[in-house]
Amino acid sequence: MEYPEFKGRTAIATGAASGMALLFLQKMAKEGANVVLVDVNAEAVEAAAEAIRQDGGSAIGVQADIRKYDQIEHAVNLALEKYGRIDYLMNSAGGNSQRVCKQSGGFLNASPESIEWGVDVNLKGAILFVRAVLGKMFEQNYGVIINMGSVDGVTGAMGLDYTASKCGMIGLSKGIANYGASHGVRSVCISPGPVLTRPAMANMKTLLGRAAEPREVVDLIMYVCSDKGSFITGCNYMIDGGRSCAMGNFL
């Protein structure tokens, strides 16, 4: 599917040095959009942006810790200085706090610092990034904000901070949809089940008997952002191979 409407527009994504956020921006760049990659890993994000440029795309990489508003604002200002507009935001940065913070033993053994990391990166950073871009989208009378949730935000899971944060992304998307509708801004939450961005994801059960390929999730995001999805806002898209509707069978 081709999307000529993306040409000349600007997409920004967090957690963009790898995974679905990077694939989204690679696809956007192929369609002629300007792309801004934001990630806490400076070396990785610049390498990813350079690869897009080498492939003929227009891209900049920006190092930013999305827990800190001044760094978010810096990234947004760089995007506006370079491209003059921000049309699409994908809030994708996040992860399981115990895995990232190298802890084990479940929620009762989680340090307060790891719990704070989980809430700050998985939810607060997304809210702050929305705050930074929404004014410009209102000025343009156009914008689409994609918030990455998770099947765990719908079904619940043992990682309490992760589950709460991903459920919050659904509420954030609904709030943006209400707040932004009169200014031409749409928002949805995308809640994947297991996706093969990490090998361990292949072990999670789904009705379809496999994990998703990253492109299967990103193809949906591209459609929602496009003019073909122009009547879509305020909803949560489950793309989980049936995991959420069969959780009882997996317990």
Q: List the strands of the sheet with 88-91, edge to edge.
A: 58-63, 34-39, 10-14, 88-91, 143-148, 185-192, 236-239
Q: What whole-number distance in Å separates Cα of residue 56 and Cα of residue 8? A: 14
How large is the average pLDDT for residues 233-244? 96
The one-letter code for the residue type at 101 is C
Of 19-33, 35-49, 191-205, the least confident: 191-205
Based on C-alpha coordinates, what's the Rg of the chain?
Answer: 17
H helix and E strand count, the chain: 10, 7
What does the pLDDT look like over 103-127, one tens digit per residue? 888 888 899 999 999 999 999 999 9
Q: What whole-number distance in Å separates Cα of residue 46 and Cα of residue 83? A: 17
What domains are defined for the chain? Answer: 4-250 (3.40.50.720)
Does residue 207 or residue 198 have the better pLDDT? 207
The first and second tokens of residue 181, run together, are: 């509708």
Kindly tell me the burial class for residue 123, based on how many C-beta atoms sit within 10 Å of its own C-beta (0-12, 13-18, 19 or more). Answer: buried
Q: What mean pLDDT, rounded, does the chain reach?
A: 95
pTM: 0.95
In our burial notation (b when 16+ CB lie closer than 10 A, e otherwise), range 4-22 reads ebbeebbbbbbbbbebbbb
Q: What whole-number distance in Å separates Cα of residue 43 and Cα of residue 154? A: 35
What does the pLDDT look like over 138-165, one tens digit per residue? 999 999 999 999 999 999 988 899 999 9
Length reported for the chain:
251
Cβ-based neighbours of 117, under 8 Å, separated by 6 or more: 97, 100, 101
Give the SS3 label for residue 63.
strand
Q: What whole-number distance in Å separates Cα of residue 24 and Cα of residue 20? A: 6
pLDDT at 16: 98
Q: Which of 73, 11, 22, 85 is nearest to 49 (CA)?
A: 22
Kindly tell me the burial class for residue 249, based on how many C-beta atoms sit within 10 Å of its own C-beta (0-12, 13-18, 19 or more). Answer: exposed
Task: Say yes or no to pLDDT of 52 above 60.
Answer: yes
The first and second tokens of residue 180, run together, are: 């932004």
pLDDT at 54: 98
Q: What whole-number distance in Å separates Cα of residue 115 and Cα of residue 233? A: 30
Number of Cβ within a 10 Å radius of residue 82: 14
The first and second tokens of residue 168, run together, are: 């919050």
The first and second tokens of residue 119, run together, are: 């809430």
Q: What whole-number distance in Å separates Cα of residue 152 and Cα of residue 156? A: 5
